[in-house]
Amino acid sequence: MIHARPLQEQNQAVGSRAGSDSASFVSIAETIEALRIRELDLAQAMSSRVVADAERSRLAAAVEQAAEGVFLLALDKTITYANPAARELYGFEARDLIATRTSSGPTCGRG
C-alpha cells in the first residue's frame, strides 16, 4: 500500500495527458473537416465562375455576330462598345466610335 498513492497519482497524470491528447485530436479533426468544407466551397465557386465565364463568352459572341447594330452606352451616353454591324451601319471604325458621347440614346431609366 505504500506504492499505491504514487501509482494513483501517476495514473491521474497519464489520464489528464491522454485527455489533452484526445482534445488535440478532436481539434485537428475539426480543422481538417473545416478545410475540406472550404475546399468544396472553393471548388463550387470556381465551377460557378467557369459557367458564368462561358455564358458571358457565348453572349459576347452572339452580340458580336448579330446582324443588328448593337451599342453599349455608359450612363452619361458615352459609347463603350459597338458591334461590327453597328460600325458598318454608321460607317465608322470602333476607334472612332468608342468614347464618343451621343446626344441621344437610352439612359437606363435615369433621365
Give the pLDDT confidence of 1-22 residue by residue, as tens digits: 454 555 555 555 545 555 566 6
What pLDDT sits at residue 55? Answer: 92
Whether residue 58 sits in one domain with residue 20? yes
- Tens of pLDDT, residues 30-71: 888 888 888 888 888 888 888 889 999 999 999 999 999 998
Q: How many domains are there within the chain?
A: 2
8 plus 46 within the same structural domain: yes
- Tell whether 3 and 27 lie within a shared domain: yes
Question: At which of 29, 47, 65 does a domain end?
Answer: 65
Q: How confident is the model at residue 106 (pLDDT cuts 50, 70, 90)?
A: very low
Are 81 and 97 members of one domain? yes
- Domain identity same for 13 and 52: yes
CATH code (residue 73): 3.30.450.20
Task: Please state the rounded mean pLDDT for residues 72-86.
Answer: 90
Q: What is the largest CA-CA distance in the chain?
A: 108
Same domain, yes or no: 80 and 90: yes
Domain, as residue range, for 16: 1-65
Structure-block grid coordinates of residue 58: 457565348
The answer to whether 93 touches 87, Cβ cutoff 8 Å, is yes
- 96 or 107, higher pLDDT: 96
pLDDT at 92: 84
What pTM was estimated for this model as a whole? 0.48
